[in-house]
Amino acid sequence: MRENIILTGSIVLYEENLTDLDATIQSFLNIPISNKILYLIDNTDENFYEYVFVLENIQYIPSEKNIGFGAGHNSVIEKIKKTSDYHLILNPDVSFKEKVIPNLILQLEKYPDVAMIAPRVFFPDGSHQYSCRRYPVISELLARRFTFLHLIFKNKVFKGEYREKNLSEPFFAEYLTGCFQLYKTEDFLALNGFDERYFLYMEDVDICKKIDLLGKKKLYYPQEQIIHILKQGSLKNANLFFSHLSSAIKYFLKWGF
Residue 204 lies inside a defined structural domain of this protein: yes
Q: Are 107 and 1 in contact (CB under 8 A)?
A: no
Give the count of domains, the chain.
1
Residue 105 resides in a domain: yes
Give CA–CA dist 94/96, Å, rounded.
7
- Residue 94 within any structural domain of the chain: yes
Residue 194 pLDDT: 98
CATH label of the domain that carries residue 121? 3.90.550.10
Q: How many CA atoms within 13 Å lie on the side-chain side of 171?
A: 14
Task: Evaluate whether residue 235 is within a structural domain.
Answer: no
Task: Check residue 121 and report its DSSP letter.
Answer: E
Residue 183 lies in a domain: yes
Query: Does residue 208 form part of some domain?
Result: yes
Give just the sign of the alpha carbon dihedral 124, 129, 132, 135.
Answer: negative
* Enclosing domain of residue 67: 6-127+166-230
Least confident of 9-18, 30-39, 116-125, 132-141: 132-141
pLDDT, one tens digit per residue, over 72-83 is: 999 999 999 989
Residue 232 has pLDDT above 90, yes or no: no
Residue 103 lies in a domain: yes
pLDDT in tens, 75-113: 999 999 989 999 999 999 999 999 999 999 999 999 999
* Residue 132 placed within a domain: no
pLDDT above 80 for 151: no
Q: Grade residue 65 by pLDDT with cuts at 50, 70 and 90.
A: very high
Output the CA–CA distances (angstroms, integers) from residue 200 to 88, 93, 240, in the order listed. Answer: 18, 16, 8
